[in-house]
Amino acid sequence: MSDCLFCHILSGDIPSSKVYEDDDVYAFKDIHPKAPTHVLVIPKHHIATLDDAKDALQLGLLMQKVSYIANEVLKLKAGYRVITNVREGGGQVVFHLHVHILGGKKLAF
């Protein structure tokens, strides 16, 4: 998607602070962190929202990668929070499916 911020990050047109990458996902630091560790995990192909993700295997893979990144890359040993905002009412601003990983402090609900 030519007008998608996160597709521009994937192509390298817009710089980002990469923390992990493989064939399926790209993970980078959120530019406005809400916790000591705040990383975004995105699929490498454009999906606008969670509601547009029709492939259960791809979604499961994405969540497995989120767990791997949180534990093995970010070393969030005490635990972490996973958030996906869905469409305007859910606070989604960038319409390329992404999973927030938040950690590094005790998170109140």
Would you say 103 and 33 are in contact if contact means Cβ atoms under 8 Å apart? Answer: no
Q: Does 31 bind ligand AMP (CB under 6 A)?
A: yes
E strands, the chain, in order: 18-21, 25-29, 37-43, 80-83, 99-103
- Of 8, 29, 46, 81, the residue at the interface with Zn ion (CB under 5 A) is 46
The token pair at 76 is 């969030």
User: What's the min distance (Å) between Cβ of 96 and Zn ion?
Assistant: 3
- Of 93, 106, 108, 109, the residue at the interface with ligand AMP (CB under 6 A) is 93
> Does the annotation mark 98 as catalytic?
yes
Residue reference for tokens 């609900």: 109
- Of 4, 53, 59, 73, the residue at the interface with Zn ion (CB under 5 A) is 4
Q: Does 1 bind Zn ion (CB under 5 A)?
A: yes
Geometric angle at alpha carbon 3, from 40 and 90, rounded to 5°: 50
Q: Does 91 bind ligand AMP (CB under 6 A)?
A: yes
Total Cβ atoms within 10 A of residue 64: 12
Q: Does 49 bind ligand AMP (CB under 6 A)?
A: no
Residues near ligand AMP (CB under 6 A) are 5, 14, 16, 30-32, 40, 85, 91-94
